[in-house]
Structure 1
C-alpha cells in the first residue's frame, strides 16, 4: 500500500478557509490600490470622499458578518438602519465640502451600491448557497469598480496631474536681445 498525502477533495472547512483568505487579499488589495490612486490624483476633497467610501465598505462587510453570524433578520435591519443614518449624515458633510456635480455622482454610486448589496443579501437568503453568494459578491465588487471608474473619468474631478512640457528646440523669441 502506498504511503503519502491524499490529494482528493478538501473538506468544506479547509475550502472555506482558503476562500476567505483569497477574499481578504482581494479586498485589501482593492482598498489599498484605490487609496494610493486617490492620494496621488486628488486633493483633500477626494481624500474626504475616499475615507467615507472605505468606511462605507467596512460597514457593509460588518453588516454582512453580523447577519451571517447571528442569522437574525432583526439585527440585520437594525444595522442597515444605522448604516443608512450614517450615510445620510456624511452626505450632509460632503455636500458642504464638494461641489454639486461631484455630490450627484457620489449619490448615484451609493444608490447602486446599496441596491447591489440588498440584491446579494436577497440571493443569499433565497438560495442559502455559499458559492452563489460568492459569485454575486464578485459581481458586486466588479460593478463597484466600474462605478469607481466613472468617478475617475468624470469631468467634475480633476484630471491626471500634468507635467510641464519642455520645447524640443530652444526658442529665441523669448530670450532677451542684446542690441
Structure 2
C-alpha cells in the first residue's frame, strides 16, 4: 500500500507540468497567422454584376476578364484606325482595382511598331475604360482589397 501511495504521489507531481498554461502574446499570434497567409490569392476576384451568376471562383475570374476584354475591344473597334501595314499585336495591360471598385490602367506594354502605326493607341485604351459598368472589388477574408492583374488584348488591323 505504501508503494501505491508513493507511486500515486510521484505521478501527481510529474503530471503537474501538463497543466501549465503557456501565455502567448497577440503579436506572436499575428506573426504566426501572417506566415500562413497567402498574399497572392483572393477569396473572390473582382467582378461585374453580369458575372455574379457564375458559380465557381474560376468562372467568375474568366467572366470578369472576358467582359473587360470585350468592352475594350468593342470601344476600340468603333474608332477608325488607318495604318500603312498590317498589325497583329498583343498588348499587355496592367490594371489595378481599388478597394472601392475603381479600375485604373497602370501600364500598357505595346510593341514599337504598333506605337508607330497607331500613335494614339494609349489614349484609345484609356478612353475604352471610361464608361465601364460597376466593378465589385476583390474580397479577401471578408474585406474588400486592392488587386492588380495583367490582361492581354489582341490588336489586329488590316
TM > 0.5 fold call: no
Bigger CA radius of gyration: 2
Please classify the TM superposition score into its range, dividing by the shorter chain length.
under 0.3
Normalising to structure 1: TM-score of the pair?
A: 0.21
Greater RCO, 1 or 2 (C-alpha within 8 Å, sep 6+):
2
Higher helix share: 1
Higher strand share: 2
